[in-house]
């Protein structure tokens, strides 16, 4: 059974001082999350401060993105090497990056490889749009994004895959646990098995999309769901900790 993980994607929210306060709140209550690995993903400018704020606890830090090149004339970008020492995880291929910043399966694949080469643990995000779901393409879209994002990747250690149906992100309309389990235990797991064989069994699969304290336990009660990638509910320490506690209880 993979580790249970609850990661908070703070997106473009929090000033540095707000980020420190939020991280301190999570650190203070982290024991309520049991064995669940807690990962905080603040904006780049707060990584150092959040790393320092959670020091001495089991709370981990992640970035929300990175570029795949080591250095050079890439104005505004952040390299894998720059993240080393600041965070352990990095979210790759979030649907907002795919939709708003033109990220493709190819660029996602470059980033996954570069993250692993730098010793960072990538959280690969996949998920279908509403149009794709209504057209009956959800399974194909998700398995395709997993296969393309991991093309040429041979090491599953440290990898996490998050299923985030685009229609459920930030809408308050979470998927049902049944829908999530169909995609995660079906298309996503099968694609991972095809790439990594039995090592796929150790890859944590997170659900993301309007997850909150009220529904997290139902998602985590599914065998194929090992935690969550949480947006809105991660911006309040108590709500984030309640999500993690619900996951911990479901997995106990």
Instruction: Write down the catalytic residue from 96, 128, 132, 164.
Output: 164
Residue 93 touching ligand PEP (CB under 6 A): no
Among 84, 104, 134, 170, binds ligand PEP (CB under 6 A): 170
SS3 134: helix
Residue 169 touching ligand PEP (CB under 6 A): yes
* Identity of the residue, 85 or 170, whose beta carbon is nearer to ligand PEP in the bound complex: 170
Residue 9 touching ligand PEP (CB under 6 A): yes
Site string for ligand PEP, 186-215 (x = CB under 6 A): ----------------------xxxx----
CA nearest to 14, candidates 48, 47, 46: 46
94 is catalytic: yes
**Residues whose CB is less than 8 angstroms from the CB of residue 176 and which lie 6 or more positions away in sequence, other chains included:** none
Q: How far is the CB of 71 from ligand PEP (least distance, A)?
A: 29
Residue 232 touching ligand PEP (CB under 6 A): yes
Long-range contact pairs involving 19-22 (C-beta distance under 8 Å, separation at least 24): 19/43, 19/46, 19/49, 19/50, 19/53, 20/46, 20/49, 20/50, 20/53, 22/235, 22/236, 22/237
Using CB atoms within 10 Å of the CB of residue 6, give its burial: 0 to 12 exposed, 13 to 18 middle, 19+ buried. Answer: buried
Q: How far is the CB of 81 from ligand PEP (least distance, A)?
A: 25
Instruction: Write down the catalytic residue from 94, 96, 128, 226.
Output: 94
* Identity of the residue, 10 or 196, whose beta carbon is nearer to ligand PEP in the bound complex: 10
Q: Which stretch binds ligand PEP (CB under 6 A): 70-78, 82-90, 110-118, 164-172?
A: 164-172
| 52-81 residues near ligand PEP, rule: CB under 6 A | none
* Identity of the residue, 30 or 216, whose beta carbon is nearer to ligand PEP in the bound complex: 216
Query: What's the start-to-end Cα distance of the chain, in Å?
Result: 12
Q: How far apart are CA 43 and CA 5, in angstroms?
A: 20
Residue 227 touching ligand PEP (CB under 6 A): no
Integer Rg of the chain from CA: 17
Q: How far apart are CA 215 and CA 211, in angstroms?
A: 6
Q: What does the binding site for ligand PEP look like in residue numbers (CB under 6 A)?
A: 9, 164, 169-170, 208-211, 229-233
Residues annotated catalytic, as ranges = 94, 164
């Amino acid at each position: 059974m993979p580790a249970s993980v609850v990661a908070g994607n703070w997106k473009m929210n929090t000033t540095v001082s707000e980020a420190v306060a939020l991280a301190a709140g999570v650190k203070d209550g982290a024991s309520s999350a049991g064995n669940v690995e807690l990962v905080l993903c603040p904006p780049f400018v707060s990584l150092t401060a959040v790393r320092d704020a959670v020091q001495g606890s089991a709370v981990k830090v992640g970035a929300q993105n990175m570029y795949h090149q080591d250095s050079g004339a890439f104005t505004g970008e952040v390299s894998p090497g720059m993240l080393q020492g600041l965070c352990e995880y990095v979210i790759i291929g979030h649907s907002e990056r795919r939709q708003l910043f033109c990220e493709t399966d190819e660029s996602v694949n470059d980033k996954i490889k570069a993250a692993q080469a730098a010793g960072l643990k990538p959280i690969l995000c996949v998920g279908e749009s509403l149009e794709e779901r209504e057209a009956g393409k959800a399974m194909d879209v998700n398995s395709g994004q997993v296969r393309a994002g991991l093309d040429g990747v041979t090491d599953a250690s440290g990898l996490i895959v998050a299923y985030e149906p685009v229609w459920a992100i930030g809408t308050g309309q979470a998927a049902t646990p049944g829908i999530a389990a169909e995609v995660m235990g079906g298309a996503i797991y099968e694609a991972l098995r095809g790439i990594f064989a039995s090592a796929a069994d150790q890859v944590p699969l997170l659900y993301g999309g309007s997850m909150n304290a009220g529904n997290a336990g139902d998602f985590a009660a599914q065998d194929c769901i090992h935690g969550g990638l949480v947006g809105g509910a991660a911006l309040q320490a108590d709500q984030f900790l309640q999500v993690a506690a619900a996951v911990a209880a479901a997995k106990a």
